[in-house]
C-alpha cells in the first residue's frame, strides 16, 4: 500500500465519475464512489502503517487506531466519507453527485496531507 496507489485509484474514480455523470450511468456512479472510498482506505492504511507499524484490516480497526493516535479529526472525516461514498452512494444507490464530488475532493486533500505528514515525520526521525 502507498500514497501513490491511493492517488491512482482516486484518478480512476474521478474518470469513472465524470463518465457516469455524462452518461447517467448509476452503476458507474456507484463504482466511482466506492473507488474513491478505497483510495481513502489505502491512504489511511499507509498512514497508520507508517506511524504505528500495523496495517488495519477493518473499518472499526482503522477508526480505533486513529483515535488511539490522537487523530479524532481524521477518524471523523473517515467515518463521514465512508457514509457518503461507501454506504450511501455505493450500497444504497443514493444519487447525490454534488456530495460525491465534495467527498472526492476531501479524499484528495486527505491523501496529500497524510503523505506530507508522513514525509515530515520520517525526515524528523533522521
Classify burial at 86, counting beta carbons within 10 Å of its beta carbon; exposed 0-12, middle 13-18, buried 19 or more: buried
11's CB contacts (< 8 A; 6+ apart) are none
13's CB contacts (< 8 A; 6+ apart) are 32, 33, 35, 36, 38, 39, 104
53's CB contacts (< 8 A; 6+ apart) are none
DSSP state of 53: S
* Structural domain spans, the chain: 3-125
Q: Assess whether pLDDT exceeds 70 at residue 126.
A: no
Q: Assess whether pLDDT exceeds 90 at residue 1.
A: no
Nine cell digits for residue 52 = 504505528
What residue spans of 57-96 are helical by DSSP H? 59-68, 72-81
Q: Assess whether pLDDT exceeds 60 at residue 28.
A: yes
Q: How many angstroms separate the CA atoms of 34 and 82, rounded?
A: 9
Q: How confident is the model at residue 124 (pLDDT cuts 50, 70, 90)?
A: confident
Say yes or no: domain 3-125 is CATH 1.20.120.
yes
Q: Assess whether pLDDT exceeds 90 at residue 125.
A: no
Nine cell digits for residue 83 = 457514509
Q: Tell if the pTM clears 0.75, that is, is over it.
A: yes
Amino acid at each position: 500500500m502507498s500514497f501513490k496507489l491511493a492517488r491512482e485509484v482516486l484518478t480512476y474514480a474521478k474518470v469513472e465519475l465524470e463518465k457516469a455523470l455524462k452518461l447517467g450511468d448509476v452503476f458507474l456512479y456507484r463504482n466511482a464512489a466506492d473507488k474513491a472510498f478505497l483510495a481513502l482506505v489505502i491512504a489511511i492504511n499507509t498512514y497508520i502503517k507508517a506511524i504505528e507499524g500495523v496495517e488495519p484490516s477493518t473499518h472499526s480497526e482503522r477508526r480505533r487506531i486513529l483515535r488511539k493516535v490522537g487523530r479524532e479529526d481524521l477518524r471523523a472525516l473517515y467515518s463521514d466519507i465512508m457514509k457518503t461514498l461507501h454506504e450511501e452512494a455505493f450500497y444504497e444507490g443514493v444519487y447525490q453527485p454534488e456530495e460525491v464530488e465534495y467527498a472526492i475532493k476531501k479524499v484528495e486533500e486527505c491523501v496529500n496531507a497524510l503523505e506530507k505528514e508522513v514525509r515530515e515525520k520520517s525526515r524528523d526521525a533522521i
